[in-house]
Amino acid sequence: MLLIEDLQVELAGNKILKHIDLEIKPGETHILFGPNGSGKTSLVMTIMGYPQYRVTGGRILFKGVDITGLPINERAALGIGMSYQRPPTIHGLKTRQMIDICSKKEIDVEEYAEMVNFRDFLDRDVNAGFSGGEIKRSELLQLLAQDPDLMLFDEPESGVDLENITLVGETIAMLLEKDIFHSDEKTIARQKRDRTKMGLIITHTGYIMDYVAADKGQVLFNGILSCSTNPREILNCISEMGYEECVRCTLEKN
Amino acid sequence: MYSREELKSKAAGAATKKAALGQDVDLAQFETADVPHEYLQEEELRSLPDAEQKRLIMSGLDLTGKERGGTYFQKDTAVVHCSSKMEGVEVIPIKKALEEYDWIRDYYWKLISVDMDKYTASAETDLHNGYVIRCLPGQKSVYPIQACLYLDKEGLQQTVHNIIIAEEDSELHIITGCATSPHVKKGAHVGISEFFVKKNAKLSFTMIHNWAEDMVVRPRSAAQVEEGGLFLNNYICMKPVRTLQMYPTTYLVGDNAVARYYSIIVGSPGSEFDIGGRIFLKKPGTRAEIVARTISNGGRIIARGHLIGEVPDIKAHLECKGLLLKGGLIHAVPELEGHCDGVEMSHEAAVGKIAQEEISYLMSRGLTEDEATSTIVRGFLNVDIPGLPPQLRAEIDRAVEMSDKDVM
């Protein structure tokens, strides 16, 4: 379980997250909405542990451990993973080697790469000259190899062409155990109960919700979590009335 | 015209002439007298002391000889072993070649002036030996030829002259290691190398250096590449050295000739490198590339590169990247000269530190900060070198891998 309590964060001296409370239970996936600059990326980067996001108040608990002051790699070791929107290029490091790093050499790289149609890229430098869609597939392959329990997705569908959106969506559903399949041993209800993977997905378009059944939606507006309800309802509301309505909700909430 | 006397007299005239680049070194502080060593058969190379074998292996020498097509091994001033296993590839000590073969006169001091500076002059006056490697027309060397210039005597100036000839349509790969005995602290190495790549021939030359901390190193090399030829020049030096200065020059004199230089340098505290290279593109369709990766953890590195496009329809690129890890200096000097319309030349130079963003990215995949940093450094030094045989790629990777601890 991820539990965020009264989290306050500064970036380069500016308050960017204000008194955030958030709980993601095992098996739950949340969608994070919000206009540009509202602090969505800051929230996931803070959960991942990027040191430039300075926590000035509150705490983050994961699996019962207070991780607020832990370095990034220790959070990764506890089972937090991230799919980046714009990851850096690592020159001279092959994607194949990166997958080995993620899995600690415990998986068959070729076999996993096949799942996201990425075998042709294994011998290229990580993210070097990758298109938008290639970056997403590379990030998903890294998560598949890493197999974390809490996955943070920063705009996983941005820059992905129509052909690949299904692949990306279905892979995320699989990662988050949201893919429902017929099985003689397990009823659907049992499959749902057995889910443990947690997800937090940042999206602007909501396309990802066509593939991943999300449990909850959150709206981040100006550093404040202003809404927490059914994600479809939030998406409809934003599409019809825009984020201005969120301002009203935020005002009323405070 | 070839006259040893004329060369000697020119050399005498330049005995005190300072070099254009690099700190001036008083060569009088080093001995040049012959140091005798016994000639060894190939299998006897493997009975050398362990510490010595280790140094040789680090410089890319394969003492089993299995993965090599021939060997030249010079210790101090003496040829300890010289043989070729491949038909069509000749490996000859240069002193023997100068005595016995007329054709050597077409190559000896043909690309480099003997009176260029005091180091070239000394190479004629105090010549100890060196190798001539010649690949006959149409021969393709399956395995690389290895050459090792080893310094065992404290305070010696080792002076060599090498000539490498890839005849028409031939393919030749050479790995050359220069190293010092573990006990040697101080010494000098002056090495002249002249490369001749003939029509449609392919020559790769990979140099791995393991010097001592107080070594003075002054190689002087030049290459001439004819029509359709390829010259690949790789230089790796990951170990400390007092001062090293070199500026290899290549002349692309035939249509569609190609030259590529790759160098990987790590500068430790107290080390001073002035390295670079120059390529003249003199015919249409010629291509040139100079790629340098330098890391300083306290040393001083000047990385030069100079491309000269003299005719239209040439392409040249220079890439010089430096990482400052623990102080020191990296001075990148990229130069492009286009002498007419229709040249296509570019350069990319960057000096900086490791990006925190890259470290964090790798940490989020499970690596510690130190592991992430060394992964990025290894990646930085991992340069793709097209056309290099796998055995030589493996030697470069090994040199980089082994110095990993020194770098960090």
pLDDT above 70: residue B104: yes
Nearest to B366 among A49, A76, A125 (CB): A76
**Which among B266, B353, B256 has a CA at the least distance from the CA of B311?**
B256
Looking at residue B178, its pLDDT comes to: 87
Would an 8 Å CB–CB cutoff place A12 in contact with chain B?
A: no
Q: Is A92 on the interface with B (CB under 8 A)?
A: yes
pLDDT average, residue stretch B229-252: 93
CA distances in angstroms from A25 to A196, A197, A215, B204, listed in the order given: 8, 9, 10, 60
* CB-closest option in B361, B365, B366 to A88: B361
Of the listed ranges A20-29, A147-156, A186-195, B8-17, the one predicted with least confidence: A186-195
Q: Cα torsion for B120, B59, B351, A90, to the nearest 10°? A: 150
For residue A93, the model assigns a pLDDT of 95
Closest chain A residue to B377, measured at CA: A92
Residues A87, B361: C-beta atoms closer than 8 Å: yes
Comparing alpha-carbon positions, the chain A residue that sits nearest to B376 is A90
pLDDT at A253 over 70: no
Q: Which chain B residue lies closest to A81 (C-alpha atoms)? A: B364
pLDDT in tens, B108-149: 999 999 999 999 999 999 999 999 999 999 999 888 999 999
Above pLDDT 70, what percent of chain A? 99
Chain B hits for A75, Cβ within 8 Å: 364
Enter the ipTM.
0.96
Q: Does B45 have pLDDT greater than 90?
A: no
Average pLDDT over residues B307-322: 96
Looking at residue B1, its pLDDT comes to 46
Among B365, B375, B382, the residue with its CB nearest the CB of A76 is B365
The whole-number average pLDDT for the span B398-402 is: 76
Q: Is B142 on the interface with A (CB under 8 A)?
A: no
Which of B357, B369, B382 is the closest to A88 by Cβ? B357
Residues of A in contact with B358 (CB under 8 A): 88, 90
SS3 state of residue A243:
coil
Over residues B325-338, mean pLDDT? 93
pLDDT of residue A126: 97
**Length of chain B in residues, anyone?**
408
Q: Coil, strand, or helix at residue B36?
A: coil
Which runs of E-coded beta strand occur in B105-253?
131-135, 145-151, 157-166, 171-180, 186-197, 202-210, 214-225, 230-237, 243-246, 249-252
A105: contact with B, CB 8 A cutoff? no
pLDDT of residue B407: 59
Q: Is B376 on the interface with A (CB under 8 A)?
A: yes
A78 touches chain B (CB under 8 A): no
Which domains are present in chain A?
2-253 (3.40.50.300)
pLDDT at A174: 94
Contact B407, B379 (CB under 8 A): no
Mean pLDDT of B312-339: 94
Q: Is the pLDDT of residue B233 over 90?
A: yes
> Using CA atoms, how far apart are residues A45 and A36, in angstroms rounded to an integer?
15
**Residues of B (305-364) whose Cβ lies below 8 Å from A:** 355, 357-358, 360-364
Q: Is the pLDDT of residue A136 over 50?
A: yes
Q: Tens digit of pLDDT for each residue in A177-223?
A: 988 777 778 888 888 888 899 999 999 888 999 999 999 999 998 89
Which tens digit of pLDDT belongs to each residue from B154-195?
Answer: 999 999 999 999 999 999 999 998 889 888 999 999 999 999
pLDDT at residue A39 is higher than 90:
yes
